[in-house]
Each structure stands twice: as structure tokens, then as C-alpha cells.
């Protein structure tokens, strides 16, 4: 069945989808990773800046302390000392923050340690400066020393801070560089992957829409064919049903309901519903065959009657089959044919047949009557007439003698009629025993039979070689006798009769209108004479029983001879045709199947 669509694209579709999904998953994971990297980097930047800021803050606090100290030393105003005093706390706060920020970096921690020492030293130097600048304990040399020392320390601190800043910056830069490297490959790769996924999806979409188109077409076809099926069930007078043995669900086709005399969907069929329609005579048989079908997996034709709700009886023929599908579930399929018309016709035919047989028997017994009971009295009449001797006749009056001879003639004619009629009916009723026979021999026999008249008319009969065929020998002999006899009888007076018999093998296709095309080869045998011929308009009627073209007195005959020929040829499934031109002779053509 070609029309069932094959959607083999579904597998490739599945593959395409899986690939596309994998690509998308991959893409999103890459994106997620980038995002995280970015986050980290920005955190790192913040970190670096924070350290930077804290370091700057540290520096400025120290500077503040230095400025405040200077201011105090110069002015001796206590107010200048407050930033110095605060700076110590600020430094500590920043320092703690820095310690936290660089916890993950041992190198920075070490630097921080070093810075811390320097800062402590600086503050010691501040204390010393303050101490030696106090008027009470003023020592210029020592103050200068500490001031210079503070200055150097300050340089060192700055240097240390710068170094720490540099380290952070370098770290940041290397991180940024790595990040840039990673991220620079990303866009092209992602976009191309994305495009690939997109194209896969597009491909799938195209495939799907194509399949949908095909599905639509097949769906339409399916609709048409199911419509056709329903129609053909109606016209063909059959119906179908399905019985799913797993679910025990039975489906009737629409026509099944109609066949049972209901409208489609009038009831929900179950196993027992159908039996309710079956005629009581057949119920048992149908119930049994329903059970058998499951066992035998097939239901041979069953014939039965059903009764429709309107009490009409229909004759049904059913058959069924058990189908097991791929999943192993069993479904019974069945067809019911409504054969009521055929059944009734059959009954009629049987009646006609028996009538025909009866009339055939009657015909046969008529044949018997004709052959014996009719012939006997006639024969006796003739024999008794023949026994009226010349001596007896001499004693009769002239009219008496005349009557006797008229009786004789009539009796003779009746004899010929009865004989011919008998022969005609016998060509039909006697047993038809086909024997492989040499037609040449039968032809010779026919000539022997006609010796007297052939000699009398000095007829010239020629023939080509005839075949060997399966025939009823004496019927073919009779056929030859009748045809040659016919030609001799209707020969032209004072002309030597010439009859030519010719035989050839032909193909039935050469005579398409005439011959049965089921039989391929025929022998065509023609009988051509130079006799009186006949008007071609009679070429069909001459084969009809009792058809005569000449008056009884000119040419005695019964009009049965050619009818016998026709019958014999019919018996052999052959054909006979005649053609003629008046006064030119006639041609009789036989076609006998090989």
C-alpha cells in the first residue's frame, strides 16, 4: 500500500534538535563563565583600588600628622596637634583594612609588615621631634636629626606604599590581560555556534513544515479513501467490522449498521448484539464460528440469514481473519456480504435449471417416441403398401391405384422428415465422445457414403490434406456428407459438379468478429462448388431449421441438413458460414478449433 506516508525524517529531526540544544547549552555555559570572570575581575579592580585608596589614606594620615606636627612646632598652637593625634587612629583603621584586603597575598602582607614598621618608626620619630622641640627639653641638634630621620622615613614609607601599589597594579594588569585573552575568542565562536544552532533549528522547522504538508495531503487522501470505502460498501453491499480482543471494543462500519437495518451509530456493538440479529436457525452455528475464529485465526466463508428489526430476512455471507499487530495486540477483522439478491437469483436459476432438465428429459423422450413409436406405424404403412402387389393393383380402379401411389409418396416424405428430424435431435442428445480422428479418413468415409450420387453425377471432388482433430467422428462424417451432398444436390444441370475442399490453419485474431478469441488456433476448411448458388441475403437463414430456398417438388428435402451441420459445428465449438453468388456456386466455410 503506497499511500501510507513514511515519515522517516522524524529521526533526523530528533538528531538536529539534540545537537541544537547541546550547542545552546554550551553557549549558555560559556556565557555564564564569562560573566563570572568579569565579575571576579571587577571585584579585583575594586580590590586594587581599595588597597590603593587605603594606602593613600594611610599616606595622607601620616602627612596630616607631619603637617600638624610642623604646624605645632612652629606655632606652638595646640590646635595643630589634633590632626596629628587623630592620624594615629586613621593609620590604624587603614592599616586594619589593608591587612584584611591583602590577607590572600603573602607578599603584600610582608610589604605591609614592613610598612607598618616604617610607620611605627615614623611615629617614634614624630614623638622624638615633639620631645626635642619642647621648650623645656629643646635640643636643636637632636631635633634636626630626628627631623631629617623623619624625612628619610617618610621617603621610605612613600616608597613602600608605591611598591605595594605597583604590585597590586601589576597583579591587576596580569588579570586583565588574561581576561582579555579569554574574552577575545568568545564572540566569534559564540556567534558562529549560535548561527549553527539557528540553522539547525531552521532546518528542523523546514522539515517539520514539509512533513505537515505531506501529512495534510495524506490526510486528505485518507479522507477520500475512507469516503470511497463507505460508498463502495454501500454499492457493493458489504460491510466491515473490527473487534479488538484486548480492549474488547467492536467497531462497525456505517454500512454494517445499514445491513442490519439500522442507522449508523444506532447502538454500541458488543459481541452479543450481532447474534441478536442472526436468524434462530443459524444462531448456534454463528456463535460457534465466532468462537472458532479466535482459535483458528481465520473464518472460512459462512452463510446464514439475519432478521432486520422490520422482520425482513437477508442472506449474508461472512468471512474474517485474526490480525496481530506489531505490538502483539489481536484484532479480528471481518467482512459481511449481503447476498440476498444473488441467493434469490440462485434459487430462481435452480428452478429454471430443473425446469430445463425436465424439458430436456421430455425432449429426449420425445426423441424416443419419434424414433420408435412414430416410426413403427409409418414403416408398417410403407411395408403394407409395398405388399400391394402388381396383381392386386391390376384389380383396382385407376383412382384407387392413384390414391395408393399418393399414399406411398406422402409416406415416403414423412419418412424422410422423421429421419432428418431424428438426426437433428440426435446431434444434440447423444453422448459426445471426442476422439482424436483423422479428418481425411472421415472425409473418405463421407465420399464412400455418397458413392452412388457422386458416380451418377460424375462429380469431381478434390481436397487438400486435412488435420487430425479431437472430434465426434460420426458427426464430422455426417457434416461432410451433408455439405458435399448439398453441393451435389444443388449442382447445375448439364455441368460437371466440381467441389474443392481446402484446409488451412488460421489464428482466431484474423477473424475477430466471428471467432471466439479465447481459442487461439482454428482450422479453416472451405467447401467450394460450382453449383447454382443462392442469393447471398439468405446466407444466414439457410442454417435455420426447416428453411428452404427451393420448392419441394424441384428439390426434395426437409430443410434440416444445414441445420444439422450448424448443430454439429456448434457441438465442436466451431463456426460455419456460407457465401454465394447466384449461378456462380457457393462456399461453405468451417472453423474448427485446433
Partner 1 sequence: MKLFIKFDINTICSLYLKQKLEEEKINFTTLGFGEIELNENLSTEALDKLKNNLSPYGFEVVENQKSVLVQKIKDAIIELVYMEDSNNYKSSVFLAEKLNHSYGYLSNVFSEVTYSSIENFIILQKIERAKQLMLVNEMSLTEIAFLLNYSSVAHLSTQFKNTTGITPSAFQRIIKKRREYLK
Partner 2 sequence: MQKNALYILLADDDEDDRLFFKDAFEEVRVQTQVEFAFDGMQLMEHLQQPDVILPDVLFLDLNMPKKSGKECLAEIKQDQRLKNIIIAIYSTSSSEEDIEDTFVQGANIYIKKPSDFNDLKKIINEVLTINWHYQTSGLNRDNFLLRL
Binding residues for partner 1, rule: CB under 8 A, are 437, 441-442, 444-445, 447-449, 451, 473-474
Least spacing, CB of residue 379 vs partner 2, in Å:
4
Query: Which part of the chain contacts partner 2 (CB under 8 A), choosing from 121-129, 132-140, 230-238, 378-386?
Result: 378-386
* Closer residue to partner 1 (CB): 480 or 490: 480
State which H helix or E strand residue 395 sits in.
none
**By CB under 8 A, residue 474 contacts partner 2:** yes
Widest CA span in the chain: 223
* Closer residue to partner 2 (CB): 233 or 420: 420
**By CB under 8 A, residue 372 contacts partner 2:** yes
Collapse the DSSP code of 190 into the 3-class scheme (helix H, G, I; strand E, B; otherwise coil) and give the result.
Answer: helix
Report residue 327 CA to chain centroid gap: 21
Query: Checking DSSP bridges between strand 468-471 and strand 435-438, what pairing results, if any?
Result: antiparallel
**By CB under 8 A, residue 419 contacts partner 2:** yes
* Closer residue to partner 1 (CB): 342 or 449: 449
> Which of these, 324, 319, 332, 326, lies nearest to 244 by C-alpha position?
332
Least spacing, CB of residue 476 vs partner 1, in Å:
12
* Closer residue to partner 1 (CB): 116 or 474: 474
Query: HSE on the CB side for 71, CA within 13 Å?
Result: 14
Least spacing, CB of residue 501 vs partner 1, in Å:
14
**By CB under 8 A, residue 375 contacts partner 2:** yes
Least spacing, CB of residue 259 vs partner 2, in Å:
54
Least spacing, CB of residue 479 vs partner 1, in Å:
15
Strand positions, DSSP E, 105-159: none
Least spacing, CB of residue 405 vs partner 2, in Å:
14
Whether 573 contacts 515, CB under 8 Å: no
Whether 273 contacts 267, CB under 8 Å: yes
Query: Checking DSSP bridges between strand 298-307 and strand 435-438, what pairing results, if any?
Result: unpaired
Collapse the DSSP code of 535 into the 3-class scheme (helix H, G, I; strand E, B; otherwise coil) and give the result.
Answer: coil
532/492 Cα distance (integer angstroms): 5
For the chain, the residue count is 594
* Closer residue to partner 1 (CB): 127 or 441: 441
The entry of partner 2, partner 1, none that residue 117 binds, CB within 5 to 8 Å by partner kind: none
* Closer residue to partner 1 (CB): 442 or 515: 442
Which residues, numbered 63-102, are part of the site for partner 2 (CB under 8 A)? none
Which residues, numbered 427-456, are part of the site for partner 2 (CB under 8 A)? 430-431
Phi (first) and psi of residue 585, to 5 degrees? 105, 170
The entry of partner 1, partner 2, none that residue 447 binds, CB within 5 to 8 Å by partner kind: partner 1
Least spacing, CB of residue 390 vs partner 2, in Å:
12
- C-alpha cell belonging to residue 506: 488460421
* Closer residue to partner 2 (CB): 326 or 431: 431
Collapse the DSSP code of 326 into the 3-class scheme (helix H, G, I; strand E, B; otherwise coil) and give the result.
Answer: coil
Distances (CA, A) of 74 to 70, 126, 149, 189: 6, 14, 18, 68
Which residues, numbered 379-408, are part of the site for partner 2 (CB under 8 A)? 379-380, 382-383, 386-387
Burial of 580 (0-12, 13-18, 19+ CB in 10 A): buried
* Closer residue to partner 1 (CB): 476 or 560: 476
| Binds partner 2 by CB under 8 A, chosen from 53, 378, 417, 577 | 378
The entry of partner 2, partner 1, none that residue 19 binds, CB within 5 to 8 Å by partner kind: none
* Closer residue to partner 2 (CB): 331 or 374: 374
The entry of partner 2, partner 1, none that residue 207 binds, CB within 5 to 8 Å by partner kind: none
- C-alpha cell belonging to residue 205: 522547522
Least spacing, CB of residue 374 vs partner 2, in Å:
10
Q: Helices 439-449 & 473-489, crossing angle to 10 degrees?
A: 50
**By CB under 8 A, residue 426 contacts partner 2:** yes
| Binds partner 2 by CB under 8 A, chosen from 371, 526, 547, 589 | 371
* Closer residue to partner 2 (CB): 268 or 416: 416
The entry of partner 2, partner 1, none that residue 426 binds, CB within 5 to 8 Å by partner kind: partner 2
- Count interface residues toward partner 2 (CB under 8 A): 19
* Closer residue to partner 2 (CB): 369 or 514: 369
Least spacing, CB of residue 499 vs partner 2, in Å:
25
Phi (first) and psi of residue 512, to 5 degrees? -60, -30
- C-alpha cell belonging to residue 334: 471481518
What lies within 8 Å, CB to CB, of 527 at 6+ separation is 483, 484, 487, 499, 500, 501, 587, 588, 589, 590
The single-letter DSSP state of residue 80 is: G
Least spacing, CB of residue 569 vs partner 1, in Å:
21
Task: Classify the C-alpha dihedral 71-76-82-85 as positive or negative.
Answer: positive
The single-letter DSSP state of residue 466 is: P
Contacting residues toward partner 2, per CB under 8 A: 371-372, 375-376, 378-380, 382-383, 386-387, 411, 415, 419, 422, 426, 430-431, 474
Amino acid at each position: 500500500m503506497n499511500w501510507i506516508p513514511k515519515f522517516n525524517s522524524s529521526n533526523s529531526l530528533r538528531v538536529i534538535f539534540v545537537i541544537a540544544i547541546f550547542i545552546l547549552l554550551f553557549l549558555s555555559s560559556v556565557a555564564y563563565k564569562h560573566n563570572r570572570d568579569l565579575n571576579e575581575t571587577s571585584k579585583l579592580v575594586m580590590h586594587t583600588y581599595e588597597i590603593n585608596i587605603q594606602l593613600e589614606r594611610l599616606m595622607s594620615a601620616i602627612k596630616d600628622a607631619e603637617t600638624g606636627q610642623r604646624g605645632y612646632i612652629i606655632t606652638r598652637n595646640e590646635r595643630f596637634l589634633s590632626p596629628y593625634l587623630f592620624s594615629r587612629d586613621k593609620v590604624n583603621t587603614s592599616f586594619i583594612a589593608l591587612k584584611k584586603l591583602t590577607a590572600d597575598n603573602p607578599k603584600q602582607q610582608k610589604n605591609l609588615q614592613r610598612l607598618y614598621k616604617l610607620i611605627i618608626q615614623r611615629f617614634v620619630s614624630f614623638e622624638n621631634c615633639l620631645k626635642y622641640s619642647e621648650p623645656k627639653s629643646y635640643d636643636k641638634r637632636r631635633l634636626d636629626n630626628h627631623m631629617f630621620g623623619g624625612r628619610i622615613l617618610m621617603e621610605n614609607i612613600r616608597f613602600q606604599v608605591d611598591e605595594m601599589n605597583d604590585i597590586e597594579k601589576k597583579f591587576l594588569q596580569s588579570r586583565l590581560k588574561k581576561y582579555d585573552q579569554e574574552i577575545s575568542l568568545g564572540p566569534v565562536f559564540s556567534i558562529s555556534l549560535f548561527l549553527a544552532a539557528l540553522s539547525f533549528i531552521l532546518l528542523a522547522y523546514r522539515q517539520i513544515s514539509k512533513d505537515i504538508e505531506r501529512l495534510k495531503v495524506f490526510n486528505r487522501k485518507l479522507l477520500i479513501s475512507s469516503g470511497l470505502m463507505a460508498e463502495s460498501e454501500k454499492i457493493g453491499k458489504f460491510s466491515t467490522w473490527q473487534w479488538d480482543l484486548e480492549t474488547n471494543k467492536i467497531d462497525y462500519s456505517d454500512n454494517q449498521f445499514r445491513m442490519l437495518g439500522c442507522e449508523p451509530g444506532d447502538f454500541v456493538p458488543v459481541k452479543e448484539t450481532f447474534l441478536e440479529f442472526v436468524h434462530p436457525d443459524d444462531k448456534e452455528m454463528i456463535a460457534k464460528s465466532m468462537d472458532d475464529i479466535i482459535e483458528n485465526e481465520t473464518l472460512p466463508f459462512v452463510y446464514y440469514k439475519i432478521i432486520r428489526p422490520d422482520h425482513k430476512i437477508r442472506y449474508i455471507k461472512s468471512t474474517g481473519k485474526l490480525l496481530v499487530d506489531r505490538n502483539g495486540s489481536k484484532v479480528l477483522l471481518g467482512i459481511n456480504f449481503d447476498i440476498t439478491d444473488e441467493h434469490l437469483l440462485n434459487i430462481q436459476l435452480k428452478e429454471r435449471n430443473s425446469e430445463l432438465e425436465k424439458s430436456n428429459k421430455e425432449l429426449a423422450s420425445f426423441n424416443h417416441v419419434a424414433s420408435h413409436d412414430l416410426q413403427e406405424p409409418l414403416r408398417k404403412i410403407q411395408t403394407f403398401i409395398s405388399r400391394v402387389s402388381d396383381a392386386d393393383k391390376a384389380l383396382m380402379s385407376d383412382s384407387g391405384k392413384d390414391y395408393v401411389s399418393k399414399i406411398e409418396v406422402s409416406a415416403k416424405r414423412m419418412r424422410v422428415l422423421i429421419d432428418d428430424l431424428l438426426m437433428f435431435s440426435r446431434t444434440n442428445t447423444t453422448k459426445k465422445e471426442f476422439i482424436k480422428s483423422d479428418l481425411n479418413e472421415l472425409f473418405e468415409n463421407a465420399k464412400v457414403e455418397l458413392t452412388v450420387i457422386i458416380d451418377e453425377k460424375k462429380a469431381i471432388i478434390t481436397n487438400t490434406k486435412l488435420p487430425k482433430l479431437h472430434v465426434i467422428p460420426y458427426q464430422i462424417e455426417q457434416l461432410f456428407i451433408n455439405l458435399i451432398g448439398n453441393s451435389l444436390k444443388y449442382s447445375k444441370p448439364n455441368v460437371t459438379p466440381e467441389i474443392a475442399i481446402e484446409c488451412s490453419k488460421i489464428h482466431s485474431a484474423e477473424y475477430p468478429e466471428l471467432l471466439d478469441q479465447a481459442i487461439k488456433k482454428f482450422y479453416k476448411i472451405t467447401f467450394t462448388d460450382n453449383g447454382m448458388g443462392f442469393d447471398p441475403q439468405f446466407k444466414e437463414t439457410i442454417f435455420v431449421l426447416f428453411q428452404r430456398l427451393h420448392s419441394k417438388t424441384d428439390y426434395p428435402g426437409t430443410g434440416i441438413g444445414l441445420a444439422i451441420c450448424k448443430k454439429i459445428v456448434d457441438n465442436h465449438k466451431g463456426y460455419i458460414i456460407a457465401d454465394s453468388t447466384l449461378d456462380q456456386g457457393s462456399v461453405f466455410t468451417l472453423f474448427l478449433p485446433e
